[in-house]
Amino acid sequence: MTKQEIEAVFARVRTWPEDRQAYAAFVLLDLEQEEKDGYELTEDDLAALDEAEAEIERGDVASDEEVRAVFDRFRR
C-alpha cells in the first residue's frame, strides 16, 4: 500500500462516526504497541509449534504434489 493510499484511507476514516474513529485509533495504537513490544507466544502457540515440529520429524507433511494441488485450486 502506498503512502497516498494510506492517506486516502485516513481521509475516509475522518468522515466516519466518532465512535468508529475511536475504534480505528485504538486498533492502530494497539498495532503500534505490538510493534514496539514484539509478539509474545502464548502457551497454545508454543504447543502448536511443538506439535508441528513433531509432525515434521515423523515425516507427516504434505507432498510436493499435495501442496501444488492446493495452490492450483486457489489460483483459479
Q: Which helix (H) or strand (E) holds 10?
A: helix 3-13
Q: What is the model's pLDDT at position 38?
A: 75
- The answer to whether the CB of 26 falls within 8 A of the CB of 33 is no
16 Cβ partners below 8 Å, 6+ apart?
A: 24
Distance CA 14, CA 28 (A): 14
Q: What is the model's pLDDT at position 2?
A: 95
Question: pLDDT digits over 6-24, tens only?
Answer: 999 999 999 999 999 999 9
Q: Tell me the pTM.
A: 0.47
- The answer to whether the CB of 27 falls within 8 A of the CB of 34 is no
Report domain extents, the chain. 1-39, 41-76
Distance CA 7, CA 13 (A): 10
Q: What is the model's pLDDT at position 53?
A: 96
